[in-house]
Structure 1
Amino acid sequence: MRRRDFLGIFAGFALWPSFAKEEHSKPVIGFLSSRTPEDSARIVAAFRKGLTEAGYVEGQDATIAYRWAEGDYERLPALAAEIVRLKPSVLIAAGGEPSALAAKAASAEIPTVFSVGGDPVKIGLVRSMNRPGGNMTGVSLLATELEAKRLGILHELLPRAKVLGVLIDREFQESGTQILEITRAAEDIEQPVEIVYASNDDDLAIVFERLKTVGAEGLLVCASPFFDTRGKHIVAFEAQERLPAIHQFREYAVQGALMSYGVSPPDGYRQIGLYAGQILKGISPSDLPVVQPTTFEFVINAKAAGVAGLDIPASLLARADEVIQ
């Protein structure tokens, strides 16, 4: 072997520890979600976009460890503990209050960025919106605070409905607020409602039959991570029964539901990615205010309306941000 070749090989061995150290020092980001990878594809892409804009590309500058509860909230504490054992530099609690509360219980030290549907101050995640304090900050998508608005839109579509169904996940932390909002709103507009509850697949089968029995003429599906994981199943029931329904996110209307009204989750998750990057650069979560959306999207699926034999009022069509043909 020539001396030059030997020195080259030796130099390669000499450099190897530095490369190994660099690989080992790549920050780990924990990603805990109450949902599934399939129904979260768009928000994960938005999160990666925000993270990239902050200077961190998954696989190159950071490693992301994903854990999915797939709609089963009871799995979240164990999944959160798994992530904590990885000693991540930042933890993302995605998919609403169940993930955020599991992350809070798992660690009071790991910087955490959450996505919730309601008020993070009320459930004890942060001290205030502008000055979170502690190790947590994030985004409130206002998903659970718009139930009365959604009921009003459904009533506008079906002003003479004898009864409207309302589907609520009783295991979801914000269900109490949802029930209160729906009850008050229904009284204000003098609209009879039938509230039904589902937190698992067996429950869904029962409430579907209940909605048929009471003759529900429309359906409000309230915000819930569990319902997001069963979106296609719920929308299939609506299509089968020609039941006009309104949901929280655009994805439901794309899948075939009649309407959706709420914020755009990708916008919120892009912000979560930006916050994760800022934390990796040394900024404390306590210095990053909780973000709330300022824009909302109202989507109507015209094809679903045709299948249900409905004429959408001009007043609703004029307000729609998107009409899916």
Structure 2
Amino acid sequence: MRSLLIALAATVALSLPARADEVTVAVTAIVEHPALDAARDGVKDALAAAGYKEGENLKFIYESAQGNPATAAQIARQFAGEAPNVIVPISTPSAQAVVSSTRDIPVVFTAVSDPLGAQLVKDMEKPGGNVTGLSDLSPVAEHVALIKEILPNVKTIGFLYNSGEANSVSLLAVLKEEAEKAGLSVIESAATKSAEVQGAARALVGRADVIYIPTDNTIISALEGAVAVAEESKLPLFTADTDSVSRGAVAALGFNYYDVGKQTGEVVVRVLKGENPGDIAVKVAAGTDLVINKGAATRMGITLPESVVGRATRTIE
């Protein structure tokens, strides 16, 4: 029933007659959580800054797949059928669904870790076709260094992820490479849906020294379950998503996703003004923030070193 309502809502929203000077930007995300919501808001604000304002000359459509890949595909097909000026899929699963659904409508993806591995484009500099976008490839080497700085005796990193998310599989490969360089090992624990996250976190207790969560939409949407296990077990939990630190992670080094959205929105503006998306290079998002949570560190049985506290861009007490 929910899928039907989503489809009907998208149909009604997109089929309303547009004014001659109005453009339509259709945005979809695989799930709603703070990082992806911030990216969406950044896109809208970048459009407004460029003169495309909702209610004046912009129709801004947003649909969430609520974590369901089948719904993501349904939304993608609906958007493709209604032919907005630009489609902006947020996250790898939504981007894959949209790119599979249209070869003609301009697509500007965002919050995709590995556009090549996800087969969204064949070349980052010259993507070709109707697709370009912004990658949020995590600085994994810096994440490993941060974990070692906070916990010098760490030996094993527990990687909590959805094995069905292409971006997370790519990040696992990068993590294994960087961990090996640092003399660490990686233990995997997978959850393919949000209801499995707490159990997958519990499977790392006694096997890993820390839990590390990548920019994985399934895990982050159910982060509180993993945090509860981490606090109960005194197993420090780190993420690649800075918005997750206020929800109970010890620390994260990553992007401000509102800024990622604004950078994406600037690309959308270029397309709306006539540039071919296939001629616009896919960029890696700029900027990294270090966010720490002193209370979470205490609850998980560790003390953050002054070297980390001193350079944090944001501290949660």
Under TM normalisation by the shorter chain, which class is it? 0.7 to 0.9
1:246 partnered with 2:238 = yes
1:64 and 2:57 correspond: no
Alpha carbons 2:159, 2:172 under 8 Å: kept = no
Instruction: Identify if the C-alpha distance between structure 1 residues 310 and 103 changes in structure 2 by more than 3 Å, giving closer, same or farther.
Output: same
CA 1:272 to 1:178, structure 2 compared with 1: closer, same or farther past 3 Å? closer
CA 1:130–1:38: 2 relative to 1, 3 Å: closer
Normalising by structure 1, what TM-score?
0.84
What's the offset of the Cα at 1:102?
0.9
- Unaligned 5+ residue runs, structure 2? 1-15
Are the equivalent residues in 1 in contact too, given 2:251–2:290 (CA < 8 A)? yes
Determine if contact 2:110/2:133 at 8 Å carries over to the other structure: yes
Question: How many Å apart are 1:82 and its aligned residue?
Answer: 1.2
| Counterpart in the other structure of 2:179 | 186
Alpha-carbon shift at residue 50 of structure 1 (Å): 0.4
Shift of residue 162, structure 1, vs aligned partner: 5.2
2:169 is aligned with 1:176: yes
Distance 2:273 2:223 in 1: 37
Provide the C-alpha distance between the structure 2 equivalents of 1:168 and 1:22, rounded to a whole number of angstroms: 42
Report the number of matched residues: 302
How far apart, CA to CA, are the structure 2 residues paired with 1:239 and 1:58?
Answer: 43
Greater Rg over alpha carbons, structure? 1
In the alignment, is residue 139 of structure 1 matched against residue 134 of structure 2? Answer: yes
Q: TM-score, normalised by structure 2?
A: 0.86
- Please give the secondary structure, in 2, of the residue aligned with 1:323: strand
Inter-CA distance 110–306: structure 2 relative to 1 (3 Å threshold): same
- Counterpart in 2 of 1:196? 189
SS at match of 1:91: strand
What is the aligned-residue identity percentage?
A: 25
- 1:257–1:30 Cα change, 3 Å: same
Aligned residue for 2:71, secondary structure, equals helix
- State the shift of 1:93 in Å: 0.9
- Separation in structure 2 between the aligned mates of residue 189 and residue 178 of structure 1, nearest angstrom: 16
Equivalent residue number for residue 219 of structure 1: 211
Measure the CA separation in 2 of the matches of 1:175 and 1:21.
Answer: 40
SS in 1 for 2:197: helix
Aligned with 1:154 (options 147, 156, 159)? 147
Amino acid at match of 1:153: L
1:260 maps to which residue?
252
Query: Tell me, which stretches of 5 or more residues in structure 1 are unaligned?
Result: 1-19
- Work out whether residues 154 and 220 of structure 1, in 8 Å CA contact, stay in contact via their aligned partners in 2: no
CA RMSD in angstroms comes to: 2.4
